[in-house]
Structures are given as structure tokens and as C-alpha cells.
Amino acid sequence: DIVMTQSPDSLAVSLGERATINCKSSQSVLYSSNNKNYLAWYQQKPGQPPKLLIYWASFRESGVPDRFSGSGSGTDFTLTISSLQAEDVAVYYCQQYYSTPYSFGQGTKLEIK
Amino acid sequence: QVQLLESGPGLVKPSQTLSLTCTVSGGSISSEGHYWSWIRQHPGKGLEWIGYIYYSGSTHYNPSLKSRVTISLDTSKSQFSLKLNSVTAADTAVYYCARDIPYSSAFDIWGQGTMVTVSS
């Protein structure tokens, strides 16, 4: 099974500043035949289901603000929020869908400093 | 716009079977390329993928739960269901149904989730 590990567990960033969340997989999630990374990012606010932000490691889901971006390849990935807004306070999860059982990171709680 | 809605008992006794249904509206459950999953979240914890079903009826389960899980499909009702037997307190969680983006398993549509408590 692929284990997903996020860092940090929590993060406090000032409004308008950059927030960076890291995700590491225990094995590569890059599929060589199509050169795609099978990695997604989600945002979850209290009492709500997760919301898909990024898939294929860097493709922004429709309607997601462009301040959210994903990068990385292989085993190391990053979610960046370029200019933190108050509504971005949430828990963020990465997920690999390279192989079953699909697995999620433990989550990173993002707060305002 | 596709929407998913979970339904089922909020309280299940230990050793009994947890049964939930996800109703799909605004789109076809038989759409090629979409897999329909169940995912759970223990209170205050992370997310655990339980398994999926395809419109053909093929299924795949998380090995950690495989011996206790069955996911089925009723295309006539546009529903898919989860059964988890021999439940314990460790199965207390919010259960979500979700749909993935075609030919990936990034989950773009989620139900609101339903809290299931296992307690006598």
C-alpha cells in the first residue's frame, strides 16, 4: 500500500502571504506510460465534504481560484496558495490514485496567523 | 449538475450490519468512465477509501475491510449501496459516497456525508 505523508500537520500564515503544504508518497505515483502523476489535493472545511482542488498533481479543478496551484512529480508534491484569503482556512489533504487501496495524507490544518 | 445523497441509519448496534445508500441525481450512474466510491472519515481524523463499483458491476475493495464489505448497484434507482458487516465502535465515522473524474480516481463529486455511530 502507498502511504501518503503530509507536512506540516498545521500551518499558520498571514493573510495575503503564501502557504505551502507538502505531500510525500512512499512510492512513486508517476505512471510512466502517460507521464501523469496520480495525485490529487482536497480542501475540507468543518462540516463539509472534501472539495477537489487539484488532480493529476497540477491540474486545477474548474472553479478553483488560480491562487491554488499544485506541483511536483514522482514522490514529492506541493500545494501552494499564493496569497492566503480568510476563506482558505481549512484542512488540506493529498490523495494518491495510482494504485488501490487509494490513500490520503493525514491532513494539514491551515489557519490565519 | 450531478449530486450525491447518502441515506441510512445513523445508529447501528455492534456486530450488526451497516447499510447505506447513495442516490445519484442530475446525471447517469451508468456513465462510462466513472467509478462510484465509498469513503469514510473517523471523527476528527483523516479519510479512508472503502471501495468502488463501476456501472458494469465490477467492484474493488480496500483489503483492510474487504472481508466485511459489499458494494452494490441498482441502476434502475440510480443508487449504489454499502454494506459493512460485523461492525464495531471502530466503524463509527462519517461515510461519504463520491464519484471520480473519468479515467482517474480523483473524486470530484461528493455527497454531504452521513454520520454512523456504532453503539449498543
pLDDT at residue B98, as a whole number: 98
Helix, strand or coil for residue A102?
coil
Query: What's the CA gap between B116 and B87, in Å, rounded?
Result: 11
Nearest-by-Cβ selection for B101 from A49, A55, A107: A55
> What's the helix, strand, coil split of chain A in %, to 5?
5, 50, 45
Q: What is the mean pLDDT of chain B?
A: 95
Nearest-by-Cβ selection for B106 from A97, A100, A101: A97
pLDDT at residue B102, as a whole number: 84
Nearest chain B Cα to A53, which residue? Answer: B108
Cβ–Cβ gap B104/A51 under 8 Å: no
Q: How many CA atoms lie within 13 A of B28 on its CB side?
A: 6
pLDDT at residue B43, as a whole number: 92
Nearest-by-Cβ selection for B106 from A49, A52, A105: A52
**Does residue A79 surpass a pLDDT of 90?**
yes
Nearest chain A Cα to B107, which residue? Answer: A52
pLDDT at residue B117, as a whole number: 98
* Predicted confidence (pLDDT) per residue in A40-62, tens digit: 999 999 999 999 999 999 999 99
**Does residue B31 surpass a pLDDT of 90?**
no
pLDDT at residue B73, as a whole number: 95
**Does residue B32 surpass a pLDDT of 90?**
no
**Does residue A7 surpass a pLDDT of 90?**
yes
Task: Tell me the chain A residues in contact with residue B106 when contact means C-beta distances shorter than 8 Å.
Answer: 40, 52, 55-56, 95, 97
- Comparing C-alpha atoms, which of A49, A24, A48 is closest to residue A37? A24
Identity at A70, one-letter amino acid code: G
Per-residue pLDDT averaged across A68-85, rounded? 98
B106–chain A Cβ distance below 8 A for any pair: yes
Nearest-by-Cβ selection for A107 from B46, B63, B100: B46
Nearest chain A Cα to B44, which residue? Answer: A46
pLDDT at residue B7, as a whole number: 98
Q: Is A66 exposed, middle or buried (0-12, 13-18, 19+ CB in 10 A)?
A: exposed
Residue A10 · residue A111 · CB < 8 Å: yes
**Does residue B104 surpass a pLDDT of 90?**
no
